[in-house]
Amino acid sequence: MRSKSQLAVFLSKLPVFTSPKAYLEQYSTDSEVAADVLWNAYLLGDVSNKVVADLGAGTGILGRGCLELQAKKVFFLEKDESLIKVLEQTAKEGVILNRDITEFDKKVDTVIMNPPFGVQKRKADKVFLEKAILNAKVVYMLGKVEGDGFVDAIAKEHGAKITHRWKYSMPLKATQKFHTKKKHLVEVMCWRVVIMQ
Ligand code: SAH
């Protein structure tokens, strides 16, 4: 990929959720936001030649983006069995792990993830962040802007440090029954957390 916009176009053609499950908080990351997050990670040296994990990979947009940016290896962890066929298409030579986040045990350089926001299931985001911090050197996590205090607290608890925060207005398509508007914008943040070793 030669540019962020080329990456965004590529990502926009990947599959998204067709029948998302609310209790697993299945929302696809918008391709423009995904491209921005991935490009930042790439420029900071956290993707090329690195072992990366996409935790709660969904249809695989973030992990696939890493492969396009020359990651050495990418793990796609996803609990929902019904997504594995889609992931097999998206993940290319990546390694698909069809398991729950609590069973993630690979040591990696970088985690890039858009996990459940913990709205449907409280603390779902906490489990993801702690797992990521324990298994990576640097973590990129997308979440609700309101989660800033919580991310900061967990990072501190583990001797990790937030080095960057990027804010986005992310379009969410009305894929769930309880959504009333066709499309609405959600304020999200991407945190870069560096783990001290
Ligand atoms: N990362 C994808 C999907 C985001 S939605 C993207 O950026 O588009 C969050 C994903 O986490 C969903 O695919 C959901 O099935 C998965 N998930 C939710 N709880 C999980 C758990 N406990 N273990 C593993 N995956 C989980």
Ligand 1 pocket residue status of 31, Cβ below 6 Å: no
Q: How confident is the model at residue 13 (pLDDT cuts 50, 70, 90)?
A: very high
Ligand 1 pocket residue status of 114, Cβ below 6 Å: yes
Ligand 1 pocket residue status of 143, Cβ below 6 Å: no
173-185 residue pLDDT tens: 755 556 666 678 8
Q: Is the dihedral of CA 47, 52, 53, 57 positive or negative?
A: positive
pLDDT at 174: 58
The mean pLDDT value for 150-177 works out to 89
Query: What ligand 1 atom has the least distance to the C-alpha of 28?
Result: 8
118-158 residue pLDDT tens: 877 778 899 999 999 999 999 999 999 999 999 999 999 99
Statement: residue 196 has pLDDT above 60 = yes
Mean of pLDDT over the chain? 93
Statement: residue 171 has pLDDT above 90 = no
Hey, which bits of 42-134 come out as E strands?
Answer: 51-55, 73-77, 95-97, 110-113
- For atom 11 of ligand 1, the residue with the nearest CA is 56
Strands 110-113 and 95-97, how do they pair?
Answer: unpaired
Q: In the sheet where 138-144 sits, what is the strand order?
A: 95-97, 73-77, 51-55, 110-113, 138-144, 183-195, 160-173
CA distance 40 to 71: 14
pLDDT at 119: 76
CA distance 95 to 80: 15
20-44 residue pLDDT tens: 898 898 999 999 999 999 999 999 9
Residue 113 Cα to ligand 1 midpoint, Å, equals 9
pTM for the structure as a whole = 0.95
Q: What percent of the chain has pLDDT over 90?
A: 81
The mean pLDDT value for 10-15 works out to 96
CA distance 8 to 78: 23
Instruction: Return the best residue to mutate from 13, 17, 26, 105 for the ligand 1 pocket (most ligand atoms within 8 A of CB).
Output: 26
Within 13 Å of residue 80, how many CA atoms lie on the same side as its CB? 22
Torsion angle defined by CA atoms of residues 34, 36, 41 and 47, in that order, rounded to the nearest 10 degrees: 50
Cβ neighbours around 19 below 10 Å, total? 7
Q: What percent of the chain has pLDDT over 70?
A: 94
Query: What ligand 1 atom has the least distance to the C-alpha of 58?
Result: 13
- Least Cα distance to 44 among 128, 96, 109 occurs for 109
75-110 residue pLDDT tens: 999 999 999 999 999 999 999 999 999 999 999 999
pLDDT at 157: 96
DSSP state of 142: E
Query: What ligand 1 atom has the least distance to the C-alpha of 121?
Result: 19
Burial status of residue 27 (CB atoms within 10 A of its CB: 0-12, 13-18, 19 or more) = buried
Cα 102 from chain centre: 16
CA distance 117 to 144: 7
